[in-house]
Amino acid sequence: MKSELAHEIERLTSLARERGADARQIAAHDVVVAEWVRFKCRFGCKGYGKHMSCPPYAPTPTETRRLLAEYSTGILLRFEGIPGHPDLKPDDIPLDFHPFLRDLILWVSSTVHLLEKTAFYDDFPKAFGFGAYPCIYCEHQHCVAEEHEGVVDESIRRLCRHMDLVRPTMEGAGIDVFATARKAGWDLHIIPCKDLEYGKIVHGNITSIGLVLIE
């Protein structure tokens, strides 16, 4: 007889696939956390400090390791492509590409949140999700983190317009997405950018990864 957890993982996996995402169970100890990931957020990402899902508001690698120690398993989610842009070319991508990728970000974020919420109300209260990409729930406004002037600190989280929906990104919390995906049998690669220009990816066949921990 399958355990309640096994049944729940099957249910969540099926739900993810209904939303167009592949899903695989992964041991919590196979989720790889590394300090270098956070450095990539701090130095090189234009979204640093501008979104509640990202550093410095996201958990630190140390906090993420402590969290993972309280779990035995999770569901890794894989999303292929960019909704609405099947034949993407570098010149199609605007300088401010964050809104351009809104449908992709919402696809990942909403699926992660749905699985976490479903598990929670199925009596798995520890369920917790990690998304990908800077949050974009504020459609016609900047995140309050970007609007806020002065010292960047945790206290402005109380001003978030979507507290119930926002979850940290995997990379923002120090999770090495590439190494973690390999643990699940998925081999990810960096997509080249035209003339090495930030954001000008040469094609839209990208893979996005999310994670839902469950116990």
pLDDT tens per residue across span 42-65: 998 988 989 999 999 999 999 999
Q: Which residues pair with 25 in a beta bridge?
A: 75
| Domain assignments of the chain as residue spans, ordered by start | 4-214
Q: Which residue has the tokens 């609007």?
A: 147
Residue 107 pLDDT > 80: yes
Least confident of 97-101, 105-109, 124-128: 97-101
Residue 123 has pLDDT above 90, yes or no: yes
Give the pLDDT of residue 13: 97
Q: How far apart are CA 39 and CA 72, in angstroms?
A: 27
Token pair for residue 110?
């909403």
- Maximum Cα interatomic distance, the chain, rounded to a whole number of Å: 57
Residue 107 near residue 1 (C-beta atoms within 8 A): no
105-114, 141-150, 173-182: which range is least confident on average?
141-150
Average pLDDT over residues 27-42: 96
If you average pLDDT over every residue of the chain, what do you get?
93
Confidence of residue 150 (pLDDT cuts 50, 70, 90): confident
Looking at this protein, which amino acid is placed at residue 71?
Y
Helix (H) / strand (E) containing 147: helix 144-147
The three-state secondary structure class of 5 is helix
Q: How confident is the model at residue 207 (pLDDT cuts 50, 70, 90)?
A: very high
Q: First and final CA of the chain: distance in angstroms?
A: 18
Q: What is the C-alpha to C-alpha distance for residues 17 and 13, in angstroms, rounded to an integer? A: 6
pLDDT of 175 strictly over 90: yes
Q: Has this prediction a pTM greater than 0.85?
A: yes
Cβ atoms of 182 and 209 within 8 Å: the answer is no
* 11: three-class secondary structure by DSSP: helix
pLDDT at position 152 over 80: no
pLDDT, residue 2, reads 67
